[in-house]
Structure formats: C-alpha cells, structure tokens
Amino acid sequence: MEATTIHALKEWAVAVNALESAQTIMLLRKGGIHERNGRFQVAHNQILLYPTYEHQQALMLKADYANLVYPVTSGWHPETVRIGSWAEITDILPVADESIVSDLLPFHIWNEHFISDRLKWKPRQPLYILLLRTNVLPQPLEIPYLPKYGGCKSWIDLEQQIPLKAAAPVLSDSAYTQQVETIRGIIGDKLYASSL
C-alpha cells in the first residue's frame, strides 16, 4: 500500500456514501465525456473517492438512495470537498449483457432505468463493473475545490497528497471476499452460459 496518494475517482456523492457505509462494493462505469480515447480506463488501483453532486439524478437510483440526492444547478460545486475514504479497485469486470447487469441489481445503488441508460450509451463499449475495497480515513479531510477538478472526467489528481495509513476497511476480509465471489459467480456463470 502506498503511504499517500493524489489520485482520485470522481463519483456521485450518494455512491461514495454507500461505499463508505458498506452498503455496496460496486460501481458501474462507462467513462466520462473527456476520457482518454473515449473509453473508461483504470490507471491506478488505489484511489481516493471524490464525491460529486452536479450530475446526481434521483430517478436513476433505487428508492432508498433517491431521497438522499438534493439537486444542484449546472456548474455548481462546493467550496471545499470532503475526502473521507480511499479504495482499492480489486476487480474490473466488463459486461455487455443486460441480463447479467440486471442480476447484479441487489449489489449496487442504481435502478433498472440507470442500467438500461448506461448500456445504450456508447453501445459498442461494455459497462465496467468495479469492485472496491473501501477504507475510511480516521478523520475526513476538507480540501479546496479547484476548477481543474471539474468537468465530466472520471479521474483527477489532487493538488495535495492524502495519507492512506490508519484508514479502516469498512468490511472485514471475509465479508468482502464473500461479496466479490458472489458477484464474480453471477458474472462468470452468465458469461460461460452465453459463450456456449
């Protein structure tokens, strides 16, 4: 494990909260508009979780999470950003079959509308299932918002190094491994069946 990092993944604040409170280990990504080569890529597997607010849409979330979203105007951003956790991306699983993604519905915060919408956008590209081992920092840090952090991109580098040590995993090793194996099983069984 690195002692510090500046690398951060931008994600809806409601999703960051769900990761930090062990309600999910899964993110679904296709990539931001400004991704290199127009595709979602993972350059670092140890990343800070950077919460965003502008593009959160309650209608794309399950009911339990939809009421946690408060709408903000286009271009709005907080003056400071709370960095409360870092995560190790343990699995990157590309999936293009809607039935597989539907079978994963119990494991994430989004609803069927989100899944359908994501699969239809850039249909030749798979939806990437990211599994994250999230660690909560002992004390959340408030960092200043900078214009370079804005825009539709998945990855940013922060101006300051954030220490990773002393962070506590939100799930035990066995609980995390069990969820990963269950999710891999759903994806693997379907991928095998669809290749016959």
For 160, the token pair is 């300051």
Question: 129 burial class (0-12, 13-18, 19+ CB within 10 angstroms)?
Answer: buried
Q: Please report, for the domain that includes residue 77, its CATH number.
A: 2.30.130.30
Residue that wins the pLDDT comparison between 184 and 54? 184
Q: Return the DSSP state at 61.
A: B
The pTM of this model reads 0.89
CB 100 within 8 A of CB 186: yes
| Digit-coded pLDDT (tens) for 54-91 | 888 888 899 999 988 888 888 788 899 999 999 999 99
**Contact predicate 93/181, CB 8 Å:** no
Residue 176, token pair as written in the block: 């995390």
> How much is the pLDDT for 98?
82
* Residue showing tokens 């300051």: 160
Helix (H, G, I), strand (E, B) or coil at 173: helix
Nearest CA among 95, 96, 47, 54 for reference residue 78: 54
Q: Which residue has the higher pLDDT, 124 or 168?
A: 168
Q: Report the mean per-residue pLDDT for the chain.
A: 87
d(CA 48, CA 37): 23
As a whole-number percent, the residues of the chain with pLDDT over 90 amount to 55
With a pLDDT cut of 70, the percent of the chain lying above it is 90
Q: What is the pLDDT of residue 31?
A: 60
Q: How many CB atoms lie within 10 A of CB 164?
A: 18
Give the contacts of 54 (CB within 8 A, at least 6 positions apart). 72, 74, 75, 76, 77
CA–CA dist 121, 129 (Å, integer): 15
**Domain range enclosing 42:** 4-195
Residue labelled with tokens 């408060």: 70
Total domains in the chain come to 1
CA 51, distance to chain mean position in Å, is: 10
Answer with the residue of higher pLDDT: 196 or 158. Answer: 158
